[in-house]
Structure formats: structure tokens, C-alpha cells
Amino acid sequence: MSDNLKIEQIKKKIQKKWHDVSEKLFIVKSLERTNKKLTNLPRYLQGKISVLNWSIEYIDAPALASSIDLLLIKKSNDFESSNPTPIILDCGANIGISVLNYKRKYPNSKITAFEPDPNILPILKNNLINNGAMDVKLVDAAVWISNGKSKFFCEGADGSKLIQGINDCHSTIEVNTIDLDEYISGPVDLVKMDIEGAEFNVIPHIRSKLPFIKNILIECHINTNEIEKFSKILEELGKANFQVSISVLGPWSDLLNKPIRIKNGFDQYILVSAWRE
């Protein structure tokens, strides 16, 4: 190979890399502009917007802005897989941003999405249909430790949750629940879990199935007076031989900046990422 040809090939590689970087920066800037618009809109009002060439219906603009920041800009729920058809369980799919993002990266992925909120389900279905993700299996139930029914608090956006025991939540209904253990009978490439506190029951419940799972993303919803629940999740993942990373979601907290308790909410949000080497 001549020196000129080598130089030409190097130039092309540099140009391609520069083009890829420029394209990524353009996408991020576009998403940031979209987020700025959404953040300034009133809460709990339905609407429609274009995001990454997707036609997205939403139930709450600021909640969508938060999802775009976390999932599309920061890529907090992304993962790498050598499997061209990864099996993904999306527990707490909400309006479908995470599902569509996985489909964008892995078009042939086999996704089962769980969402119990009857106010969000129609929007989730429309977003999947309107953006070419009709092959996603949608389960209209809450991820839990048993099949049945349970009380459910409807927050109106992205904070709805199962209710256990006595509570002062007023906007409660009854929803179907599924036993996640029954959905794991072989290798699973990713379990993404955003189930508003139910993770502290579900992870210990599926301990016998953890060896089947290659990657787990858990958004842990923590109250400071119940921190032992969080430690048990880490213990279960450690016993299952996962590598584990912990990241703070939301404002930084320390002794001078203690978390603020929100009624019917949680003190802190922590992303636990677990994978196998």
C-alpha cells in the first residue's frame, strides 16, 4: 500500500469520526432545546412533540423533559450487547421513551414492557404504534412478587406506585400485578426497573433468577429512614456475582444538604447499574 493511499484512508477515518461527533453534538443540542420548551410548560397537561424523529404523546411535559435528560442526553439506561436480538424487560415503561430508545439502538430486540397506570397506558400504546415499535410485548400490570391485584396510587405523571399497607394517598385505584419471576426462564440481556419502591421486594424475590440476567438497571426510590432496604438490594446483587455501580439521580445530598421529604414521594433517587464481566 502506498503512503498516499494510507494518508487518504487516515483522512477518511478522521472525517468520519468528526462527522459522528458533530452529529452527536447536534442531537444533544436539539434535545436540550426541546427540554427547555417542555420544562416551562404546565404540569399534568397532555400534549404532543417531535423527539429524535419520534412523534411523542405525553401526559406531563416536565416529566418528559426529565426522561429526555436522563435517557437520551445522559444515556443513563443505555447498555452494550453483543446479541443483535437482546431480550429486554422494561419494568415501568411509562410513556415509552426507554422502549423506543432501546428499539433505536437494537431494532431487532425482543422487549417486554410493563406499565400498570391506566392513564398512561393509552399514551404508551400510541407512542409504540406511531413510532414503529408494534412488536413490543406490552403487559398492562405492575411488576410485583405475585400475580393478582393491588392498590395503586396514581400520581399523574411518572410517580405512580403500588401501595402496601396503610397510607394517606387519596388517588388510589386497583391494578393487576404480575410475578416477575415467571418472566425470567432463560437468558435476559437487560432488566430495567423503575417501579417506584417495589424494587425492594422484587429483587430479593427473583434472587434465584438473577444468574440468568446479564445487566440490571434499577432506579432505587429511597427514604432515609428505610435505608436497610437499599442495602439488601446491593447484597442480593453482590451474592449473584454482579459488578455494581451507584449513581445519584437528582440533587446532591450530604450533611449540609439533606434530602427533602415529599408527601407520597421519596427522599432520594439512586441508579444502581449491575453487570457481568
pTM for this one? 0.88
Residue 131 lies in a domain: yes
Residue 67 lies in a domain: no
140: CATH: 3.40.50.150
Residue 226 lies in a domain: yes
Which residues pair with residue 178 across a beta bridge? 143
Which residues span the domain enclosing 198?
74-275
The residue assigned the cell 417495589 is 198
Predicted confidence at residue 28, as pLDDT, reads 81
Predicted confidence at residue 277, as pLDDT, reads 85
- How does DSSP assign the chain, residue by residue? --HHHHHHHHHHHHHHHHHHHHHHHHHHHHHHHHHHHHHTSPTT--EEEEETTEEEEES-HHHHHHHIIIIIIS-TT----S-SS-EEEEES-TTSHHHHHHHHH-TT-EEEEE---TTTHHHHHHHHHHTT-TTSEEE-SEEESSSEEEEEE--SSS--EE--SS---SSEEEEEEEEGGGG-SS-BSEEEE--TTTHHHHHHHTGGGGGGBSEEEEEEEE-GGGHHHHHHHHHHHHHTT-EEEEEEESS---SSSPPPP-TTS-SEEEEEEEE--
Residue 144 lies in a domain: yes
Q: Alpha-carbon distance 37 to 272, whole Å?
A: 30
The residue assigned the cell 432501546 is 102
Total number of domains in the chain: 1
Residue 185 lies in a domain: yes
What own/partner pairs with CB < 8 Å and gap ≥ 24 does 204-208 have?
Answer: 204/232, 204/233, 204/236, 205/145, 205/179, 205/180, 205/181, 206/180, 206/181, 207/236, 207/239, 207/240, 208/181
Residue 262 lies in a domain: yes
Residue 64 lies in a domain: no
Neighbours of 230 (CB within 10 A): 21
Q: How far is CA 143 from CA 13, 39, 261, in A?
A: 46, 29, 25
Determine the Cα angle at 98 with ends 267 and 135, to 5°: 145
The residue assigned the cell 447484597 is 235
Residue 41 lies in a domain: no
State the 10-residue block means of pLDDT for the chain, 277 residues long: 65 56 68 89 93 94 93 94 96 97 97 96 97 97 96 87 69 93 98 95 97 97 88 96 92 84 78 95
Predicted confidence at residue 19, as pLDDT, reads 46
